[in-house]
Chains A and B, each alone.
Chain A
């Protein structure tokens, strides 16, 4: 507190004047903070508007057909992102199919006292760390370690279940399935952290109430706790979906960047993000415009998903 004493009006200085400058200073600081805060919204808006405006020329040239065209041909300047939209959604769907049950399961396992704290804490930390690994490093690992490791399984799937459309093409390591698998691991920390948070935040009485009725532990979890934490869990899944759709480097390195739509998950494909990452370097003016249009589509998709996620999670917190 001694530092504050120095700030009381000094002798020999007019009290009024001191108060005046201090107030002006205080006010400007307040407004600076306000500007900083509102600036966050401003940045968000700026990004949206900027990308939207830059995409405008391409929107004018290609219109809505851009969404339904399956060619990406810089030579003839024909551009469409249907295969990329397809690949974005399919790889994200694969990731969610795996990550939802696993993520909720882990969230429950780590929110209950199945493990002593001394074990639970490092595991939770390790899961948080998955989110910290740079995606190029995951991509590098995916190319040289994971794909060779998965190849025998892919061959097995193709040879034995090739009659199912999902596995009907000879496996190349780079594929929507590989991307989906890696994405599932990458989005797990999001699902686990937020779901676990909303499970832990549930009132203790709820669990006691169920157990006091003779419910087993898992009956309590599945029928009372998970439904009660439902919106938090759904919100976490939405956030994870947004993350999966926007992931770039892993997609660019593992999906194969092939401009096609096939039902086979073993076939290479592309996502919007991987298209932008892999094409931008060599792109001429026309193609850059088309890529900005693709970026706008990605932004709209992820904005919708993220805004929904936020609304769901906020609603949940307000109920608490």
Chain B
């Protein structure tokens, strides 16, 4: 597989009209001596939902964590290539990861509310990012409404975030992310720990959030990708001589095209379920 042949939406479809808000150029990631991801180039267009799919271990989480520099937390991680956000290299010398993360939010696989009240879970991010105290009630309500959680929790804002159900916790995490009005929301398998009803709620939510946010979502659920994503990127892991595995981008296109008319054989096998 040659990375030169990888399609980006820009070169294949009408998406060229869309402005790219995030762009990965030839991104490679190594953990210590292990190369997890090799030569990924793709554009995330503004106000679109982009899904990352692919077998376990192919580097989807690794890539998504490059977009908000969360890989910085893992000692020994090196990111090669270039990641730009609105044209600014986010791994540039002077760039403060705190500012990057403030604009590029993230929702994790396992709901991780803080052991604080529901209210404070949301107010935390807003407070540290300089929103005024007087606006706080409004921000909390707006964010909870955006996350379709307001009706369920409006009477118990003082209760611990941990007292909510798993699905509610995940929506709380989404609410706290949108509270600080990021441009991009990264979601790493946000529904994989949830029951079907909660999953549907989260998916509906993604559809609504799309109006205001750009969303990148990692998912193992191919139905989910077809339901929520405008664009889909398929990743795979390949074994090198010597048995080392590395992940790479196989194909990136409109979701419809990936699922109905994939260009690559691997993609076709994967989306039709005949794959690892």
* Contacts from A to B (Cβ < 8 Å): 113, 203, 205-216, 219, 223-224, 227-228
In contact, B110 and A213 (Cβ under 8 angstroms): no
In contact, B75 and A214 (Cβ under 8 angstroms): no
Among B9-17, B94-102, B196-204, B220-228, the stretch that binds chain A is: B94-102
Q: Does B180 make an interface contact (CB < 8 A)? A: yes
Complex CA gap A224/B125 in Å reads: 11
Interface positions of B from 124 to 173, Cβ below 8 Å from A: 124-125, 128-129, 173
In contact, B108 and A228 (Cβ under 8 angstroms): no
In whole Å, how far is B84's beta carbon from the nearest beta carbon of chain A?
19
Chain A residues whose CB sits within 8 angstroms of the CB of B105 once the complex forms: 212-213
Chain B residues whose CB sits within 8 angstroms of the CB of A207 once the complex forms: 73
Complex CA gap A113/B105 in Å reads: 23
Complex CA gap A13/B68 in Å reads: 73
In contact, A208 and B128 (Cβ under 8 angstroms): no
B: interface residue count bin:
20 to 34
In whole Å, how far is A11's beta carbon from the nearest beta carbon of chain B?
52
Which chain B residue has the least Cβ–Cβ distance from A229? Answer: B115
Which chain A residue has the least Cβ–Cβ distance from B99? Answer: A214
Complex CA gap A223/B129 in Å reads: 13
Complex CA gap A228/B120 in Å reads: 13
Q: Does B112 make an interface contact (CB < 8 A)? A: yes
In contact, A206 and B180 (Cβ under 8 angstroms): no
In contact, B112 and A208 (Cβ under 8 angstroms): yes
Contacting B124 at CB < 8 Å: which of A113, A203, A208, A223?
A223
Q: List 10 A-B contacts (CB under 8 A).
A: A208-B73, A208-B108, A209-B108, A211-B70, A213-B101, A213-B105, A213-B125, A214-B101, A214-B102, A216-B128
- Residue pairs across A and B with CB atoms within 8 Å: the count is 66
In whole Å, how far is B140's beta carbon from the nearest beta carbon of chain A?
14
Contacting A213 at CB < 8 Å: which of B73, B75, B116, B176?
B176
Q: Does B106 make an interface contact (CB < 8 A)? A: yes
Contacting A205 at CB < 8 Å: which of B98, B108, B180?
B108
Contacting A228 at CB < 8 Å: which of B75, B103, B115, B180?
B115
Chain B residues whose CB sits within 8 angstroms of the CB of A203 once the complex forms: 112
In whole Å, how far is B64's beta carbon from the nearest beta carbon of chain A?
11
* With A213-B177, A213-B180, A214-B102 as contacts: A224 and B124 at CB distance below 8 Å: yes
In contact, A212 and B106 (Cβ under 8 angstroms): yes
In contact, A214 and B125 (Cβ under 8 angstroms): yes
Interface positions of B from 2 to 22, Cβ below 8 Å from A: none
In whole Å, how far is A227's beta carbon from the nearest beta carbon of chain B?
7
Complex CA gap A203/B110 in Å reads: 11
In contact, B114 and A206 (Cβ under 8 angstroms): yes
In contact, A211 and B108 (Cβ under 8 angstroms): no
* With A214-B129, A219-B128 as contacts: A209 and B180 at CB distance below 8 Å: no
In contact, A206 and B112 (Cβ under 8 angstroms): yes
Which chain B residue has the least Cβ–Cβ distance from A214? Answer: B102
Chain A residues whose CB sits within 8 angstroms of the CB of B180 once the complex forms: 213-214
**In the complex, the 10 A-B pairs of residues with the closest C-beta atoms, listed nearest first:** A214-B102, A205-B112, A213-B125, A212-B106, A209-B112, A214-B101, A228-B115, A219-B128, A215-B128, A216-B98
Chain A residues whose CB sits within 8 angstroms of the CB of B75 once the complex forms: 113
Which chain B residue has the least Cβ–Cβ distance from A207? Answer: B73
- Excluding A209-B108, A215-B125, 17 further A-B contacts by CB distance (< 8 Å) are A113-B75, A205-B108, A208-B108, A209-B114, A211-B101, A212-B105, A213-B101, A213-B129, A213-B177, A214-B98, A214-B99, A215-B124, A216-B128, A223-B128, A224-B124, A227-B115, A228-B115
Chain B residues whose CB sits within 8 angstroms of the CB of A227 once the complex forms: 115-116
Complex CA gap A205/B128 in Å reads: 19
In whole Å, how far is A210's beta carbon from the nearest beta carbon of chain B?
7
In contact, A212 and B68 (Cβ under 8 angstroms): yes
Complex CA gap A213/B102 in Å reads: 6
Chain A residues whose CB sits within 8 angstroms of the CB of B98 once the complex forms: 214-216
Chain B residues whose CB sits within 8 angstroms of the CB of A213 once the complex forms: 101-102, 105, 124-125, 128-129, 176-177, 180
Which chain B residue has the least Cβ–Cβ distance from A117? Answer: B75
Interface positions of B from 74 to 121, Cβ below 8 Å from A: 75, 98-99, 101-103, 105-106, 108, 110, 112-116
Complex CA gap A209/B68 in Å reads: 12
In whole Å, how far is A27's beta carbon from the nearest beta carbon of chain B?
45
Complex CA gap A216/B105 in Å reads: 14
Complex CA gap A202/B180 in Å reads: 25
Complex CA gap A207/B70 in Å reads: 11
Chain A residues whose CB sits within 8 angstroms of the CB of B101 once the complex forms: 211-214
Which chain A residue has the least Cβ–Cβ distance from B173? Answer: A209
In contact, B99 and A208 (Cβ under 8 angstroms): no
Which of A203, A208, A213 gathers most chain B CB within 10 Å? Answer: A213
In contact, B73 and A214 (Cβ under 8 angstroms): no
Which chain B residue has the least Cβ–Cβ distance from A209? Answer: B112
Which chain B residue has the least Cβ–Cβ distance from A220? Answer: B128
Complex CA gap A213/B70 in Å reads: 11
Chain B residues whose CB sits within 8 angstroms of the CB of A210 once the complex forms: 114, 124
Complex CA gap A211/B129 in Å reads: 12
Complex CA gap A317/B180 in Å reads: 33
Complex CA gap A113/B103 in Å reads: 25
Complex CA gap A208/B108 in Å reads: 9
* With A214-B180, A215-B98 as contacts: A208 and B70 at CB distance below 8 Å: yes
In contact, B124 and A211 (Cβ under 8 angstroms): no
Which chain A residue has the least Cβ–Cβ distance from B105? Answer: A212
Which of B70, B103, B115, B116 gathers most chain A CB within 10 Å? Answer: B115
Contacting B114 at CB < 8 Å: which of A113, A214, A219, A224?
A224
